[in-house]
Amino acid sequence: MDYGTTLIPELDGNLRAHNVRLPASAQLASGIRVLGRLIRSIVYTTDIAIIRNCDADAVFAVYPFTPQQVISDMLVKASSIPVFVGVGGGTTSGPRSAALARDAEAAGAYGVVLNAPASNTTLEMVSRVVDIPVIVTVVDDNPETIANRLAAGASIVNVSGGKRTCEYVANLRRQFPELPILATGGKTDATIEATAMAGANAVICTPPSNGELFSPMMERYRQNAEHNKPKTGFRPLSQAALAEMAEYIERLKDDGLLPG
């Protein structure tokens, strides 16, 4: 039975057509279903403007400061896609990380993230107070480390091995065939594709900076100003609308509200 076409319609607006499109190669990842949502591409940012204007499946909201509830709450509320929230693991750890994780879950986060230095004790605390996935970052492919992380309550590992990330992902996939793996893929199509092909279930992608996004836009503005071009982004009225306006004007003339 034919249930329809394989064509995927794509709709954009004039105002929202300029958004962050992650490399299509991220969709080569097998995907990981978190609380009913299938996730393949994850944007690595805490910038609300990018979060609201990108095509990622989820957000990886980890930042180099001690986690704060107000930041996590703001990111989750502003996002229209699932957010994985950082809850420490280095300087911030133990009961504080557990409290932050519990608050993040209450705010609506789809998962919490612990940094690589997190102790197994901290991981155990966090995993016991939340009912959402606990993601722990790993920086190597040591099978004993991974086994200990899983035993302490990790649901997902995030492989962040720099230039050796793909190698680590491939090794872990062989050693733990069913292990849910996220991995950092950087910002280029080639590195993201390589990460997906290595066996990552979902790829974390680094979006362009605001400066990189603004650069071509400002160049267009300068060119428009130089050539005195009219504003773009507006389409002409349709013939049907023009006909209706002409008819309306004629009625105003017949009623004496406009000069003939």
pLDDT digits (tens, 9 = 90+) for 122-172: 999 999 999 999 999 999 999 999 999 999 999 999 999 999 999 999 999
- Measure CA 84 to chain center: 9
What is the C-alpha separation between 71 and 78, in angstroms, rounded?
11
228 pLDDT tier (thresholds 50, 70, 90): low
Q: What is the pTM of this model?
A: 0.81
What is the C-alpha separation between 137 and 118, in angstroms, rounded?
9
Query: The tokens of 145 are what?
Result: 């480390």
CA 55 to each of CA 16, 39, 86, 244: distance values in angstroms, whole numbers, following the listed order: 11, 12, 21, 38
The residue length of the chain stands at: 260
CATH fold, domain 24-213, is TIM Barrel (3.20.20)
Opening angle at CA 167, ends 138 and 29, nearest 5: 85
The SS3 call for residue 79 is coil
Each residue of 88-118: pLDDT tens digit?
998 899 999 999 999 999 999 999 999 999 9
pLDDT of residue 30: 95
Each residue of 37-91: pLDDT tens digit?
999 999 999 999 999 999 999 999 999 999 999 999 999 999 999 999 999 998 8
Residue 14 pLDDT greater than 80, yes or no: no
What is the C-alpha separation between 52 and 61, in angstroms, rounded?
13
**Residue showing tokens 């057509």:** 17
Q: DSSP class of residue 183? A: E
All structural domains of the chain with their residue ranges: 24-213
What is the C-alpha separation between 254 and 14, in angstroms, rounded?
38
